Structure 1
Amino acid sequence: MHYISTRGHVAAQQFSEILLAGLAPDGGLYLPDAYPQVSSADLDAWRSLSYADLAFEILSRFATDIPAEDLRMLVRKTYTPEVYCNVRAGELAEQITPLRTLEEKDGGKLVLQALSNGPTLAFKDMAMQLLGNLFEYTLSRQHAELNILGATSGDTGSAAEYAMRGKKGIRVFMLSPHRKMSSFQTAQMFSLQDENIFNIAVEGVFDDCQDIVKAVSNDLSYKATQKIGTVNSINWARVVAQVVYYFRGYLLATTSNEQKVSFAVPSGNFGNVCAGHIARMMGLPIDQLVVATNENDVLDEFFRTGIYRVRKSSETYHTTSPSMDISKASNFERFVFDLLGRDAERVASLFRKVDTHGGFDLSGGPGSDGDEFAKVAQYGFVSGKSLHQDRLATIRDVHARHGVTIDTHTADGVKVAREHVKPGVTMIVLETALPAKFNETIQEALGHEAERPAGFGNIESLPQRFVVMPADAAEVKQYIRVHTGL
């Protein structure tokens, strides 16, 4: 298995070579030169596997340069009931990502897939815990060090820091938008006192943080000298690790490979739903991929109209589902690459237009940049958005009817999923976080606090360690220099 850039960088590389890299040298994103295909016989054989062994079967098709016995050891070390122990009462920890049926209507089901049982109570743990083990394994073999630069709108940061804390040869520099995360999310990150963790609160929005990460990654000389790597979903390993739970959800929800399911995915940066797209391209029987946005609806606008229009920082709303407060979806480029028939030259041209003019138009209308929007339906994508009052109403409804408390982002997913349920097709909503992470909104919706797993009772009162910095890539680069000594 070799990897290529969405913008045409020609040097094909293997998994271990791009694991630590993030962006390709031309600023594009890595994808395999062809998606491995999964047969019906494969799905039959995988139905009885543990989550870890299923992860091995899928990841071994992408990480072909890692010895099989080493990869199996890494996934079995990662996906254990001890790591993913925050399972709600009555559910089996051994399943890692158990399903829970919420409702049945007209022959269609609405099901939650629990992805938030890891150490930071968010779905990002599903990939990040594996990434930490992969990084440590690869760096040890290379006798190397890595300085991770990441950006977070809330959950990526804590998931990365918990996965990398104490890892030999790794430092983490995490950018987050100052005062724009929930108090729980902020405390999860800033309360860590590990010497290899550095939190930088940027005076701006998530897109400003993300732009800094890309600017640093595109400075190839600095990147090499400072040994910069990434853990955001621009990192291919993050995305491919998320592919596993789509297969897991399908196998738990069906009894026959003749059945199809749909997935509803709360989405801001397009990384989570991009993994679903890849699973579908591999042959997983997915009917619809439902993209659920909040008030920051750049993705919903594209999947309704074919117009991709990036919002400015001043046009990005601070909402009660803050991890989706994103107006420039980094992973969207991977889907556009496939949508355009893997025409890297056109992809590069369109995303240069994003940087200069703020977007592009594939609607096929007068003055548009192409007519590929007509092909979107072939990939199963539909979309919708959820506003603050929608998520409050959904949280109340799910709690009243099913006795289940869901977080704000999952509520966005449920609201939009209900608009797309089809008779005879199970709709799986990917849970994004436990509700305790967004307690302020749970209190507003239900009038009481969200239940907290053991160990998180007083997290907001712990001492916090962070620095505040303007949205300036040069200042971030200097901060990294000072704290690495390189």
Structure 2
Amino acid sequence: MHYVSTRATSASAARNPENFCDILLGGLAPDGGLYLPAEYPQVTSAELDAWRTLSYADLAFEILRKFATDIPDADLKAITTRTYTPAVYCNARAGESAAEITPLRVLEDGRNGKLILQALSNGPTLAFKDMAMQLLGNLFEYALAKNSDELNIFGATSGDTGSAAEYAMRGKKGVRVFMLSPHGRMSAFQTAQMFSLQDPNIFNIAVKGNFDDCQDLVKAVSNDLTFKARQKIGTVNSINWARVVAQVVYYFRGYLAATTSNDQKVSFTVPSGNFGNICAGHIARMMGLPIDKLVAATNENDVLDEFFRTGVYRVRKAAETFHTSSPSMDISKASNFERFVYDLVGRDAERTHALFRKVDTHGGFDLSGKPGSDGDEFKQVARFGFASGRSTHNDRLDTIRDVADDYDITIDTHTADGIKVAREHMAPRVPMIVLETALAAKFNETILEALGTDAERPAGFDDIEALPQRYVVMPADVAQMKAYIADHTGL
């Protein structure tokens, strides 16, 4: 299995074929693009049948071995077995089994179709990011140990990636984590979960700005190839291919758990800001998983919804990026979107690069095909099964109340965005699976507003906001950020 950059010329790709382990630690490609398989591996109906009875760990092994062909099967199986255990994903709620890892719960089953919630937030930081990040930590440790090497992870978070990465990497030999977050824009729980960590290999940096400023810093540092090599910089953001492919697994698990035969199709609704989670669904569909629709659910920061309705991708300026009650989606520049656009334009790397240069220079591009637009590829979107919708704060409050009243489940704000939008795209005989984002306790301020009571917290998280916090506040300045990293790595 070889990998190519979304911005590579055919000649450079032929000269420099990359394997899974080559790109595992690096994040962005040297040309600034994102890695994708040269060809998507295909899944047969016979394989789907055989996978229906597998544990989550064994399913992860079967899917990942299609992408990580340079890792011996015995090593890869040991990694997935160690990662996906009931002991790690132990925060199961009433009616759930920790052994299922990602259990399904049917919310509605009527004339309009079946609505299903897939629990993804039973990991150590109570968010779906744990599903990939725990694996990534073990993969990093494996790769570094083979070469007696070290890695300085430089990432950005709008809320959940940071804590998931830090909990996965704390104590890992040869790994340091430098995590950027927008100062004052996460929930109190999210902030405490990250900043309360006292591990010496964890560095939390609160950036004066929004998430896009943090993400731009990560890309700027990653694009300085000399600095990146000298400081041994890698990333755990969803620009890292290994993280995206780890998320592909729970689409297969959701499909297999919701159906009884491979003749059936399902749809997925995914709360989406940075496009990484739903990009994994796109990859699953390209592999042959019978997915009907992939529905991107946004909040008031509706860059993705605008594109899937109109064909216009318009990055918002900082003043136009809203601070909402589903803060992990307060993103106006979806970094993983480039992977889908690469497929949308027929895997034309030069065209992809030109479009994203226009994002940098003009703030977006237009593929609607209208006079003066940049192209007409938007007409191909339906072929990939994408749809979208938008949710507001009042929608979130209403949906949280509805789900609590009707099903006795307290959902978080991002999952509320997903359920609200999913109901607009349901169809008879096609189950609609909503991917849960996090446990409600992480966004208690809005739960209290919606329900008048606090969200239930798993054991061990009762007084997390009262713990001592360790972090620094810095401006969104590339030079200062590089100096801080260099000062704390000793390299």
Query: Shorter-chain TM-score: which interval?
Result: over 0.9
Query: Shift of residue 105 of structure 1?
Result: 2.2
Match of 1:424?
429
Cα deviation digits, residues 375-434 of structure 1 (max 9, x gap)? 000000000000000000000000001101000000000000000000111000000000
Is 1:450 paired with 2:451? no
CA distance in 2, matches of 1:87, 1:98: 9
Match of 2:2?
2
Name which of 216, 220, 238 aligns with 1:215: 220
Name which of 35, 47, 52 aligns with 2:52: 47
Match of 1:347?
352
Deviates more, 1:227-236 or 1:311-320: 311-320
Match of 2:20?
15
Is 1:378 paired with 2:416? no
Query: Which of structure 1's runs of 4+ aligned residues deviate more than 6 A?
Result: none
CA distance in 1, matches of 2:274, 2:436: 16
Query: Shift of residue 89 of structure 1?
Result: 1.3
Is 1:481 paired with 2:490? no
Cα deviation digits, residues 137-166 of structure 1 (max 9, x gap)? 000001100000000000000000000000
Q: Is the 8 A contact 2:112 2:426 kept in 1?
A: no
Residue identity (%)? 78
Cα deviation digits, residues 68-105 of structure 1 (max 9, x gap)? 00000000000000000001012111110000000112
Is 1:320 paired with 2:311? no
Is 1:402 paired with 2:407? yes
Match of 1:252?
257
Name which of 141, 147, 162 aligns with 1:157: 162
- The residue correspondences of 1:138-153 to structure 2 (distance < 5 A) are 138-153=143-158
Is 1:268 paired with 2:248? no
Question: What one-letter code is carried by the residue in structure 2 that aligns with 1:454?
Answer: A
Query: Shift of residue 233 of structure 1?
Result: 0.1
Match of 1:120?
125
Question: What one-letter code is carried by the residue in structure 1 that aligns with 2:123?
Answer: G
Cα deviation digits, residues 203-242 of structure 1 (max 9, x gap)? 0000000000000000000000000000000000000000
Q: RMSD of the TM alignment (CA)?
A: 0.5
CA distance in 1, matches of 2:373, 2:130: 40
Taking structure 1 as the reference length, the TM-score comes to 1.00
Query: Shift of residue 107 of structure 1?
Result: 5.7
Question: What one-letter code is carried by the residue in structure 1 that aligns with 2:7?
Answer: R
3-state secondary structure, aligned to 1:158: helix
CA distance in 1, matches of 2:22, 2:147: 11
Name which of 53, 76, 101 aligns with 1:96: 101
Question: What one-letter code is carried by the residue in structure 2 that aligns with 1:117?
Answer: N
Q: Is the 8 A contact 2:179 2:203 kept in 1?
A: yes
Q: Is the 8 A contact 1:106 1:424 kept in 2?
A: no
CA distance in 2, matches of 1:56, 1:72: 6
Q: Is the 8 A contact 1:296 1:317 kept in 2?
A: yes
CA distance in 2, matches of 1:108, 1:264: 14
3-state secondary structure, aligned to 1:173: strand
Query: Shift of residue 437 of structure 1?
Result: 0.1
CA distance in 2, matches of 1:89, 1:348: 48
Q: Is the 8 A contact 2:276 2:336 kept in 1?
A: yes
3-state secondary structure, aligned to 2:120: coil
Name which of 290, 296, 309 aligns with 2:314: 309
Match of 1:186?
191
Is 1:61 paired with 2:66? yes
3-state secondary structure, aligned to 2:296: strand
Cα deviation digits, residues 38-69 of structure 1 (max 9, x gap)? 01000000000000000000000000000000
Question: What one-letter code is carried by the residue in structure 2 that aligns with 1:419?
Answer: E
Deviates more, 1:100-109 or 1:212-221: 100-109
Is 1:240 paired with 2:252? no
CA distance in 2, matches of 1:464, 1:45: 48
3-state secondary structure, aligned to 1:406: coil
Taking structure 2 as the reference length, the TM-score comes to 0.99
CA distance in 2, matches of 1:470, 1:144: 31
Question: 5+ unaligned residues in a row in structure 1: which ranges?
Answer: none
